[in-house]
Structure 1
Amino acid sequence: MMDPIFVIAATCLVGISVVAFSLLKAWQGWLELKREELERPTGSRTGIDAAEVEGGASVGAARIEMADLKERIKKLEAIASGVEL
């Protein structure tokens, strides 16, 4: 017959393995969630809605595009008012 200490040790080993596996899966899920949060463009933080960006550009490219459009508007307003740049 098996020694009771051996049965207790084997049971503890199986229990620790199950807990370690569960914690590993939870950790991987949490890391995946954080990766998705980092990759997902958020419009609330930048004021730019990701769906409105032409061609699916990133948030940084959208900022550059917005700055370029503002500069063009200033030039057109200057031309319309007759001011030389």
Structure 2
Amino acid sequence: MTDLTLPLVLAAASLGAVAMTTTAALAGWRGWLAFKRQELSQGDRPDGAALGNAGTRIELADLRERIRKLEAIAAGVDL
């Protein structure tokens, strides 16, 4: 009969290493998800809304420019 102790010990150690790596990766993933949830929830607050997003600011600037042009047309001023 062959000695099976060494392969069994190596298999058990490998399984333990995979389990520890998986547990650490899962903890990191959960932490990242919690961070993203917190980041998204801060975007709903009024203090976070003051910063705004670049697309929203550009859209507001475009709307303001359109309003300025319409007011100029209504006042009879050529642009």
TM-score, with length taken from structure 1: 0.49
Number of residue-to-residue matches in the alignment: 46
Runs of 4+ in 1 over 4 A off after TM superposition: none
**Greater Cα offset, 14-23 or 33-42:** 33-42
What is the RMSD computed on CA atoms of the aligned residues?
1.8
Partner of 1:22: 24
Question: Identity of aligned pairs, percent?
Answer: 28
Which structure would you say has the larger RCO, counting Cα contacts within 8 Å and 6 or more residues apart? 1
Distance across 2 between alignment mates of 1:22 and 1:15 = 11
TM-score, with length taken from structure 2: 0.53
**1:36 pairs with 2:38:** yes
Deviations 1:35-64 (A, max 9, x none): 001100312116xxxxxxxxxxxxxxxxxx
Structure 1 unaligned blocks of 5 or more: 47-85
